[in-house]
Structure 1
Amino acid sequence: MAHDHYFDRAEDGKHTTDYKKHTPDILEAFDAFDHLVFAEEGREIPLKFRELMAVAVGITTQCVYCIDWHSRQARKAGATDAELAEAAWVATAIRAGGGFAHGRLAFKFAGPHEHSAG
């Protein structure tokens, strides 16, 4: 089976039955949790903003499934193209900042720099 196009909206969701067959209790708990996190009402942060956060996190983790789903959900919740763009830039800044911050560890782990005499 070729994996050059692993993202397939029509087919991939069918594998939820594998979770349902082998770990139905965990799937049920996750589904309930997810519904609470993205409930339309009863949360302090409006749904549109939660969906935009999810888009940014999906971009940061590079999860195409999350980007696909939450971009469409953000749009349904009223997100504009400008808001989607800003969410993408937030994700980009966080990824770059993480690279910068963790890059400092290279100096830390490498140990002291030995200067040559002369």
Structure 2
Amino acid sequence: MDDKDREKIEKIIDDRKRAHSYFMNKSKVYRSFVDMEQKTYSDGALEKKYKELIAIGISIIMNCESCLEWHIKQALDSGATEEQIIEAIEVGIEMGGGPATVSSRFALKVLDYYRDKK
């Protein structure tokens, strides 16, 4: 991974943290969203890890780099393996066709970023 990719991912992380802090203090709607997110990704019939893998596939189709950074990190923290994340990316590619391969390239950079941080 080159420095430019690392900087891009770290900027996404910093921007998210800054916005999260601001909106948690200023927005009831945002706090409601965070509450919904926490309930959505808690263990139920599906463990959190599997819900995060689903979100990775959806993020590929949406081409949401910030979503990919968040959900890959959450999947790793929930015990997902690199192989499981790759398969989630592959599902996104299949569902999204050619344009999804662009998102998958960024997803691999994020996976590299967190692998390198270990």
Shorter-chain TM-score bucket reads 0.5 to 0.7
CA separation of 1:68 and 1:88: change in aligned 2, threshold 3 A: same
Matched, 1:33 2:36: yes
Matched, 1:10 2:14: yes
Tell me how far 1:14 sits from its aligned partner. 1.2
Which residue does 1:56 correspond to in 2? Answer: 57
- Flag the structure with more relative contact order, 1 or 2, with Cα contacts below 8 A and sequence separation at least 6: 2
CA contact (8 A) 2:59 2:65 kept: yes
| Percent of residue pairs identical | 21
**Cα distance per residue 1:97-116 (max 9 Å; x no partner):** 9xxxxxxxxxxxxxxxxxxx
**Cα distance per residue 1:45-91 (max 9 Å; x no partner):** 11111010011111111111111111111111111111111111100
Question: Quick one: distance in 1 between partners of 2:45 and 2:37?
Answer: 16
CA contact (8 A) 2:9 2:69 kept: no
- The answer for unaligned runs of 5 or more in structure 1 is 98-118
Larger Rg: 1
RMSD across aligned C-alpha pairs, in angstroms?
2.6
Where is the helix percentage greater, Structure 1 or Structure 2?
Answer: 2
Which residue does 1:65 correspond to in 2? Answer: 66
What is the SS of the residue equivalent to 2:23?
helix
Which residue does 1:80 correspond to in 2? Answer: 81
